[in-house]
Chains A and B, each alone.
Chain A
Amino acid sequence: MSKYLELILHPSEMRAVAQWAIWHDPVFPRDPEKESDNLKRCYELLKLTSRSFAAVIEELSPELREAIVIFYLILRGLDTIEDDMTIPNPVKLPILRSFQEVLDEPGWQYHDSKEKDAVVLEEFDKIITEYQNLKSPYKAIIKDITEVMGNGMASYCEDEDFNKKGVDTVKDYNLYCHYVAGIIGEGLTRLGVAAELSNPKLMDNPQLYESMGLLLQKTNIIRDYHEDLMDNRRFWPKEIWSKYAKSLDDFAKPENEAAGLDCLSEMIADAIEHIPDCLYYLAGIREQSMFNFCAIPQVMAIATLELVYRNPKVLTGHVKIRKGLACQLMLESGSVRSTYDIFQQYCHNIQSRNTPRDPMYVRISIACAKVDQFIETVFPTPPEPKGLANNSVLVFGLSFGIVGILIFYAVFLVQ
């Protein structure tokens, strides 16, 4: 019910929802008629397990669409095993560490998971079948990333300190985000370049795709503070939160709201510093469907960060951007220019609410200005036409005239 009410309150979003539903034409529509039952089932699994990605993946160029669906499902399988606390480490670790080998074992299934996405593991043989149908360069990339990620996850499962206390330093935080998101950025970039949908130069500067992954991951970690806390998971690094509280859990208590918001600001400052890299990356994508696939999650992230910035609700519950707004963003993020505009707008919104009371005042201001500065390098402001330069002179003269007349009248009336 509240969903409809929200739409009525935001008419432009209502229009966006309608427009998306009625007019939106995918760049590459899927044709299920031509797909095998096995492949169809993979698409169903994708829909079952991914909330936000399914729509954008389905519209990808056919050259990469299936590779990315399979890539997604494999990582989802890994993630499900990692998350499942009912699987003891002696069983879990060997599976994680050798998951890349499973990809070459037709018929492999796993039935001992109690996680919500366990269905992926139960029907993993279908994913393997489709994996084997992919072009060999794509297979190699997916296998590589699966291996690195599985090993990364295993080492976190083994790490007692990490599991009990959470993330310690900002460096650890970045490393954790690297293993769960930065590596995916690498995989997708390699796939994009191999399919000639992206500029090969994107491979030369790993910081760019790393930032693409980190911005998304950090946004989720920030937004899910409360949810993770309820699940007894802690991803905010101690190096940051210890400046504001004795325990990360304290921020959920109403009396610590002010400290929690200051800490939130630092987490956000850290995240938005990745934006120039992300904008740089987006400019390197050559093909429309790949661009949409990369840009949409990014604009959702900045919209989310703007929503959570100095928002006390993050500390005590779940905050999410409205469905209508998400629709609007999907419609608007079709080009480099419009995507940059969205980023700039949200950064300006953050900066407009930034005050010297915030310990992150200067840092956030610099981070937002860096976004403007970067956009300026890609789309320089055209020089002002000479005629307009005289505008201020005009206003100047006019105000003089008016003041003069007023003084004249004042003197006249006094006499």
Chain B
Amino acid sequence: MALSTVLIIGGSGFLGCHLVDRFYAVSPRPAIHVLDIRPLPIISPEFYSFNPDEIVFHKGDITDPDSLREIYREVKPDIIVHSASPIHGMGKEIYYKVNVDGTQAIIDVAVEPEFADIIKGLVYTSSASVIYNGEDLRNADETTPMPEKQMDAYNETKALGEKMVLAANNKRPGFKTVALRPSAMFGPGDRQLIPNMVQVGYTSGTRFQIGNNWNIFDFTYIGNVAHAHVLAAQKLLDEKKSGGVAGEPFIITNNQPVYFFTVPRKVWAMKGNIPSFTIKISRPVGFFLAFMSEVVAKLRGKEALFTRFRVSFTCANRYFNISKAIHFLEYKPIVTLEKGIEISLRYLEYEEEEKAKTLAEKKSE
């Protein structure tokens, strides 16, 4: 059965905009509805191909079942994509509210009998970090167990949300669920991964390498993650192919794991910064220096760029085996890692240009 109406919860966010973009590209094009607390941002046609006028926006609170029920009644989606998630650093309470309570409400209302012939499935955006226990992940896959204790409150709530979603598979006959676990997403709209690397690129930090750089990392271009969501939605609706998908988690990456420093170095090189030499620092020394840097930053009342968290991030092996997604979702990345980096840098330039434009307009006023 072809997808006719999709409701994207969290559709105004970083991943959300790309979800809209990829669902818009599906042929025949489904009706696309977005539910979020803030409206869709103004998007540039250079990076997104959808027409914002064709997207129906609903403002609503996902923790409020009544508000959800009303929107479900109005939209009549056959698939709900739930990718609403608070930004890192908002605090434990907000994480619980959105990732656990919100997810519960989304499920509970969707399985109500009145939506029996309407809502056929739920695609949930989880995170590859739900199987991260602080140690190296090498070729980790869906059989890798979740740690008993998650690394932080954010991951804890994401893991809880995922468990709830997968347990809800068939909770009402004909209601199918699937969870996608993307790893280290980057791309237009990203505020963390590539922007942080670009920032370091303006400092002498490019001369340093922590660890031996044989550790491998899976970076994932956001457009590929969105593409995987489309495939997951289509598979849930496909009687023949939903068998291996419904009730299952899938790790999503670019399937191009790479030595960690390759990506920042490529970013810096594209920004014209190729250091003539690099200084290698072992991991423990890196930890120590990062600690000192955090202390100094704190004393000066600034935010430290070089932190212990980044050291462990930089030295970790974190790569996955995504055979399951390739087999059951028939997933294949549509944008390569290298192309993804190019697009991301071009997007940051575009943002700078936009900023400069608004500044100039203000001045002329």
Contacts and interface: CB of A to CB of B under 8 A. Distances in A.
Interface of A: 348, 351, 355-357, 361-363, 365-366, 368-370, 372-373, 376-377, 380-381, 383-384, 391-392, 395-396, 399-400
B139 A396 contact: no
Interface of A is mostly: helix
A130 B166 CA distance: 65
Given A356-B274, A392-B287, A396-B288, A362 B139 contact: no
A363 to B, nearest CB: 7
A363 B256 CA distance: 9
A365 B138 contact: no
B332 interface: no
A365 B288 contact: no
Interface in B321-357: 321, 337-338, 341
The 6 closest A-B pairs by CB, nearest first: A356-B269, A395-B284, A365-B262, A362-B338, A392-B284, A399-B288
Interface in B255-310: 256-259, 262, 265-266, 268-269, 274, 283-285, 287-288, 291
Contacts of A365: 258-259, 262
Contacts, number: 69
B135 interface: yes
Contact of B259 (A369, A376, A377, A400): A369
Interface in B85-138: 135-136, 138
B139 A356 contact: no
A377 B139 contact: yes
Contacts of B221: none
A395 to B, nearest CB: 4
Given A361-B266, A372-B214, A373-B139, A366 B256 contact: yes
A376 B138 contact: yes
A356 B266 contact: yes
B319 interface: yes
B321 A377 contact: yes
A353 to B, nearest CB: 13
Contacts of A370: 257
Contacts of B138: 373, 376, 380-381
B268 A356 contact: yes
B283 A383 contact: no
Contact of B266 (A362, A384, A392): A362
25 contacts: A351-B259, A355-B274, A356-B266, A356-B268, A356-B274, A357-B274, A361-B265, A361-B269, A362-B258, A362-B338, A365-B262, A366-B257, A368-B259, A369-B257, A369-B258, A372-B216, A373-B257, A377-B321, A380-B138, A380-B139, A384-B136, A392-B287, A395-B288, A396-B287, A399-B288
A369 B338 contact: no
Given A380-B138, A396-B284, A396-B287, A373 B216 contact: yes
A383 B133 CA distance: 12
Contacts of B287: 392, 396
Contacts of B216: 369, 372-373
A348 B262 contact: no
Contacts of A384: 135-136
A381 B140 CA distance: 12
Given A356-B266, A362-B341, 17 more contacts: A348-B214, A356-B269, A361-B269, A362-B258, A362-B338, A365-B262, A366-B258, A369-B216, A377-B139, A380-B138, A380-B139, A383-B135, A392-B283, A395-B285, A396-B288, A399-B284, A400-B288
A362 B319 contact: no
Contact of B262 (A362, A380, A396): A362
Nearest to B312: A392
B319 to A, nearest CB: 6
Contacts of A383: 135
A381 B136 contact: yes
Contacts of A399: 284-285, 288
B338 A363 contact: yes
Contacts of A355: 274
A391 B136 contact: no
Interface string B27-56: 000000000000000000000000000000
A96 B288 CA distance: 70
B52 to A, nearest CB: 33
A362 B267 CA distance: 11
B93 to A, nearest CB: 32
Nearest to A370: B257
A220 B288 CA distance: 49
A242 B273 CA distance: 28
A58 B257 CA distance: 41
Nearest to B284: A395
Contacts of B259: 351, 365, 368-369
B284 A362 contact: no
Contacts of A396: 284, 287-288, 291
B293 to A, nearest CB: 14
B269 A357 contact: yes
A321 B287 CA distance: 42
